[in-house]
Chain A
Amino acid sequence: MKHVVDSPLPQPPEPQERRSFFVKTAAIALGAILAFFPFAAGLGVLFDPLRRRVNGVADAAPKDGIKFVRIGPIEKLPADGMPHQFVLTDDVVDAWTRTSAQRVGTAFLMRTDSADGPQVTALSSVCPHLGCAVDFDTPAGEFICPCHTSAFARDGAKLYGPSLRGLDPLTVKLVENGGQQEIWVECANFQAGIAERILVG
């Protein structure tokens, strides 16, 4: 007994042309809609990150335009004009998780004291080439990126290497708190790999 139904296709009957055209068009149109349906249901989720500036929070730009985080009393920073690396801590919303005082990155701070009082400047430790973390090479007196050997002067100016701009300066604010001066530093990231400085969050 042979079970395989391997008969050649029967000659399809001559369809009525107009009806067949309508059926074909409808089938293709419906098929396209149905094929798109599951993707349509997920489009919002797929493109969700585009409508958030900060992880998890839609349109949560800081109100005064610059977001400062506290470093501590000014005594923490020696007035030797040399870069010292400090950890930046901030309250973080990462998608569903809310964490307070999370270590979010580092910055290099430099202090020089003059007759006008202490002067503090800050540089982001993120290499503006492609985002590696730069080190300060004390003997050479310059910042070196360990990834693609971009080098920057103590004031952040570009010396050599592939980076298209110098290290990104961060705004520093000295705040009087209970008779003590405190250092606050801007917490910001800039787009890497380009000559302009564009804030990304």
Chain B
Amino acid sequence: MSRFLAWLDDRTGYRGLLHDALFECIPGGARWRYVWGSTLVFAFVVQIVTGVILWSAYSPSAQTAWESVYYIQYEMTGGWLLRGVHHFMAHTMVVLLAVHFVQVVVDGAYRAPREINFWIGLVMMQLVLGLALTGYLLPWDEKGYWATKVATNMMALVPLIGPSLQKLVVGGSEYGHQTLTRFFALHAGVLPALLAVCTMAHVALFRRHGLKALEPYTKPDTTFWPDQVLRDAIACLAVTLVVLALVFRNYSSDLVGLPPGQLYGAELTAPADPAENFSAARPENYFLFLFQLLKYLDVFPPIVGAILVPGLILLTLFLMPIVGRWEFGHRFNVMWTLALLLGAGILTVLALRADRNGQSEHSRHFLAAVAAAQVKADRAVELARSPIGIPPAGALKMLREDAKIQGPKLFRQHCASCHSHHVVNGTPPDPSQEIVLENPTASNLWGFGTRDWVLGILDPKKIVGPHYFGNTKLKEGDMAIWVTDTLGPDATAELDEAELKKFRENVKLVSFALAAESGLLREQHPQEWIAAGRNVIVEEFACTDCHRFHDDGELGMAPDLTGYASADWLRAFISNPEHDRFYPTTNDRMPAFAASDDPAAHRLSSEELDILVGWLRGEWYKPEAVANAPAANADE
């Protein structure tokens, strides 16, 4: 062995190199304060290794970026750990950078002969921030997409070359495939290569100048190996533990069993959709001070806050070695650095408090947007993991066809100027599906066509209440009169006990029969109940005097009860409520959404109608077989 090593040394001189590397002199002994540079090198190496492994699973294009990151985060073994380490190590690196910088300034390590190394360090700082910025976009989720849009728009403010620069970075005038391929080339190629070259130069110059030791020396001189190496290693271990703590920060024993990708590691919001507002857009925390600064500098043109002020601050940092020659220059530099850090810290706190105080209109809006983004992100993952899966056109298509996500939006846009959609008593199964109006002027469509709905409309009090016809002209219509006269207290007062029991039985049977018309899975009732109910509709209650119901009654006076609230019925009704099947003469104010022969003239497209109808019927993919659960009160 020793002969081989001697041979190797003869050919390579590795012993000399190793000696140079390990036996660097440390005047005054090893100290904890010298560890920061090493922790940064360690963090960079971790980013390279984890980054290359992520690269092996990442696919940069507008239809595959989110999808491949989703696959890493939720499907690949330990993908959440890998992505979490890469993400939080990036955050940690920015913090370590700030600490290293402050130490260099406070110790005066920027002064002669170390000016050039200081400048290289500042360039490295920009490279690390560039890596953070480009990395933020790569998952192509809502958060990264909108935050990066702000950054590239700032780039366009640079005088003269700005717009061209923006176009080069974005790969065109709009965000798309080329934006991702270019950002990926920057993030995984150009910037790390430059950073690696700078790191080598930085360390080489550092070795040339020697350590800027803090005086007075309290201990005898020592060498890098082993005392300082051990301190550096312990510091790197601490960095690792901090990163792991961040990855596992959501750990809680009652959450075990959920997919780990949902709990641990870096966040993945819903796939980016250029056609949808994302009011929760914020830059990463370490850019929040710039974000807040822009808000305060609103009296100036945007270029001041976006380019000029950050540029000037950067310039003062570059000038530090020169300022430092002046008698009070060093003191000035130290004060200026601390002032900048304090200012950035205050701005960050202000930005966080403005968003998260929960009091102001702004904050409530932001927090609601964050909650909505969470619902959408969870839904995107739920669908991607479901048998529906991600289609070749990408996850965005999957989300855009999902009734649970799109239904409330369509309802708000087209229906919620009159209709509400919420549980009247009790807690809703999912608050994101509720639409509460202050002054609804039409019925509450929650559970339309279900037994509860039918029982409500047959209730003399409820039918004229705000959740049915109370706010419409149908309040005085024939149906309301019939329900009041035939089912109301005046009518039932004359019945004896047996008749009353029979009467209540009939109402119940009608509710079974009519609810079954909807074809909803949860309204599947025993055939004999349905048959009896149908009989009551035609015979005892004579609904068919006005309504059509299968082979009885005529169209033209009141809505068709055949297939009541079925998907086909709802579609036709929304398309044209004044059709013969529904309210040809007594329609209140409901517009026709798709009545014309020309599809281009429709207010709702065919796809939108399908989504809306599916949503009103509560028919969307649900992970558990909730939809198949038998009706809770079927045993009555």
Contact = CB atoms under 8 A, between A and B. Distances in A.
A56 B237 contact: no
Contacts of A20: 226
Interface in B159-207: none
B389 A93 contact: yes
B384 interface: yes
Interface in B25-43: 25, 42
Interface of A is mostly: helix
Interface in B354-372: none
Contacts of A43: 78
Contacts of A12: 23, 221-223
Interface in B62-79: 64, 67-68, 70-72, 75-79
B236 interface: yes
Interface string A84-116: 000000000101111100000000000000000
Contact of A41 (B57, B67, B78, B389): B78
B227 interface: yes
A90 to B, nearest CB: 15
Interface of B is mostly: helix
Contacts of A93: 389
B140 to A, nearest CB: 13
Interface residues of A, number: 37
A41 B246 CA distance: 14
A13 B220 contact: yes
B343 interface: no
A98 B385 CA distance: 11
A20 B237 CA distance: 20
A34 interface: yes
B46 A38 contact: yes
Best-surrounded residue of B53, B56, B71, B226 (most CB of chain A within 10 A):
B226
Interface in B59-95: 64, 67-68, 70-72, 75-79, 81-82, 85
Contact of A96 (B42, B46, B208, B390): B390
Contact of B392 (A31, A51, A97): A97
Contact of B49 (A3, A4, A39): A39
B226 A3 contact: no
Interface residues of B, number: 51
Contacts of B237: 30, 33-34
Given A4-B208, A38-B85, A96-B67, A45 B230 contact: no
Interface in B368-418: 384, 388-392
A27 B230 contact: yes
A37 interface: yes
B588 to A, nearest CB: 44
Best-surrounded residue of A23, A24, A33, A43 (most CB of chain B within 10 A):
A23
Given A26-B230, A30-B234, A34-B240, 12 more contacts: A4-B209, A5-B208, A12-B23, A13-B220, A24-B225, A27-B226, A31-B233, A37-B46, A41-B78, A42-B78, A45-B77, A45-B78
30 contacts: A1-B112, A4-B113, A4-B208, A9-B25, A10-B221, A12-B222, A13-B221, A20-B226, A26-B230, A27-B225, A30-B236, A30-B237, A34-B236, A38-B49, A38-B50, A41-B50, A41-B53, A41-B82, A44-B77, A44-B82, A45-B57, A45-B78, A45-B79, A46-B56, A51-B77, A56-B75, A96-B68, A96-B390, A97-B67, A97-B390
List the 5 closest pairs (A to B, CB-CB), nearest first.
A44-B78, A3-B113, A98-B389, A42-B53, A44-B77
